[in-house]
Amino acid sequence: MKNRWIGNLMIVIILGSLLAACSTDSKEPANEQDALEAENETGGDLNIAVTAQPPTLDTHLTTATIALQIGRNIFETLVTQNETYEAVPMLAESIENSEDGLTYTFNLRQDVKFHNGKEMTSEDVVASMNRWLEQSSRAKMLLSGAVFEAEDSYTVILTLENRASDVLDIMAGQGQFPAIMPKEVIESASEDGINEYIGTGPFQFEEWRQDQYIHLVKYEDYQSVDGEPSGLAGKKEVLVDNLYYQIVTDSSTRIAGLQTGEYDVAEAIAPDNYEQLKSMSNVDIHLYLSGSNTMFYNKKEGIMTDRKMRQAINAILDMDEIMLASFANEDLYVMDPGYMSPDQTNWSSDAGSESFNQKDLEKGKKLLEEANYNGEEIRLVSTRDYDYNYNAAIVVKEQLEQAGVNVNLEVYDWTSLLEHIADPENWDIRFVGIGYVTTPSQLLPLSASNPGWPDDEKVTALLDEIRGSATQADAENLWDELQAYLWNDYVPISLFGHYSAIIGAVDNLEGFKTFQGSIPWNTKVIE
């Protein structure tokens, strides 16, 4: 930064000399100087319109996407994700792993300050991480028996009961992420959450006006890591003074705010508004893959417990037609068989692709015969609260009826649907979009407690082998084997494709990027 400042000063001095040498009629040097000064200016406000108010910003407790997107400006973690979803150090300077895979040593960065001015040390990290182990459903399920302890002021030891090759990926994940907070904040927390939002992030909490906005401000003493920005990793530079998350529930209203300049960024634009957004000359569109469009089979009770039935229905489906009906524009989705994100370097896989998007009516009918299907009613359940779920259900119903399957579609509001599917006697197939996770062990379709209730010895054994793998390459090979088995044999779900989230941003933002939501740091507002 100092070298850049000296360089800019030299340019200004040179320009000044040129001005003195030129006639008073020449305007070009003055214009160059004005442009240079404008380029170096920072500050102002960044207004991001979001869909809903978070229940809390305590990221140890909540799984609400909006809370995590706002919270990652305030809080940071020992490790985070780069743009290919790899776990890389953030508040940890370096990480060491024992040969038996049961001990991880985190060497902390020094001179990192919390927003209250206190330096972060191991006591804060241990308090934060052990609370996360107790509160996070993901941590309780996958890291049972783990414990963090301080070795000295800048060294933290994680001890595991069992080898878990995915432990860093779990810690880097965005769902209920393990924010590092001051020990005092952790100790004063109640069952409802923390009482103060104090972290080490590039922005600090200022104000929360219920149902209106959440206001964050630039943290002047922020200590960034070095390195090229990538996902949530790398250098973070705060180029605005104020960051407002404006709570605007209606997609059309968010778009109107972009047009008028009230908002700089509008999150979660509905697919129906995509063409309107494309027509706006002052707006740039940012798309990022955010989840999978799926239907879950009930494997606990009813007709879909027969895997031949699941294979039959999966063979019949035209997933191109389903995805187009769900999202209206081919720009907004990709056709890929991966259970994990196609952008995820370590885990993206096309294993089992021969059973993806088959559109094979004759094969489906043959499998129905093998399952001794005799016209029994199959109950589909969906909701209009999420258009893509409902539209997918309509198309699936039509496709199955063309194959001679007796289908009944039941439609509920979202809250009622959640209550309905909790009872396995109530349904056979349900439609749901699922967000991305960092490791296969966290996939909802493979969770025994998730409505759908998978119960398969081979699935369980392969997941255990993946988690116990000595190398990432071994784990990836096992995941290929498991994903092929899921598509070709077990079929716990039918995955139609992967959909994109839509963000609109005014075109006077410089450096604006997205990673599972807007990234406000490194973003400059050009007046």
Is the domain of 389 the same as that of 511?
Answer: no
pTM equals 0.86
Q: How many Å separate Cα 88 from the centre of its chain?
A: 16
Is the domain of 208 the same as that of 296?
Answer: no
Residue 174 has a pLDDT of 84
Strands 493-506, 509-510: pairing is unpaired
Q: Tokens 């940012």 sit at which residue?
A: 286
Is the domain of 253 the same as that of 136?
Answer: yes
Is the domain of 32 the same as that of 106?
Answer: no
Is the domain of 258 the same as that of 356?
Answer: no
Q: In angstroms, how far is the first alpha carbon of the chain from the final one? A: 23
- Dist. CA 75–CA 202, nearest whole Å: 8
Q: Tens of pLDDT along 313-352?
A: 999 999 999 999 999 999 999 999 999 999 998 899 999 9
- Dist. CA 3–CA 9, nearest whole Å: 10
User: Burial letters for 207-216: b for 16+ Cβ neighbours within 10 Å, e otherwise?
Assistant: ebeeeebbbb
Sign of CA dihedral 146, 151, 153, 157: negative
Is the domain of 423 the same as that of 305?
Answer: yes
Residue 138 has a pLDDT of 86
Is the domain of 241 the same as that of 361?
Answer: no
Q: Tens of pLDDT along 215-248?
A: 999 999 999 999 999 999 999 999 999 999 999 9
Q: Tens of pLDDT along 428-477?
A: 999 999 999 999 999 999 999 899 999 999 999 999 999 999 889 999 99
Residue 426's CB is within 10 A of a number of other CB atoms, namely: 17
> In which domain, by residue range, is 222 found?
48-282+507-525
Report residue 4's pLDDT band, with 50, 70 and 90 as the boundaries. Answer: very low
Can you name the residues that pair with 108 across neighbouring β-strands?
92
Can you name the residues that pair with 380 across neighbouring β-strands?
409, 429
Is the Cβ–Cβ distance between 459 and 325 less than 8 Å? Answer: no
Is the Cβ–Cβ distance between 67 and 514 less than 8 Å? Answer: no
CATH assignment at residue 112: 3.40.190.10
Is the domain of 278 the same as that of 308?
Answer: no
Q: What's the chain's average pLDDT?
A: 92
Is the domain of 259 the same as that of 341?
Answer: no
The total domain count for the chain is 3
CATH assignment at residue 417: 3.10.105.10
Is the domain of 342 the same as that of 269?
Answer: no
Looking at per-residue pLDDT, the higher value among 318 and 7 belongs to: 318
Residue 204: which of 185, 180, 224, 221 has the closest Cα? 221
Looking at per-residue pLDDT, the higher value among 272 and 458 belongs to: 458
H-assigned helices in 173-216: 183-187
Is the domain of 274 the same as that of 309?
Answer: no
Is the domain of 314 the same as that of 460?
Answer: yes
In the predicted model, what is the mean pLDDT of residues 56-64?
A: 92
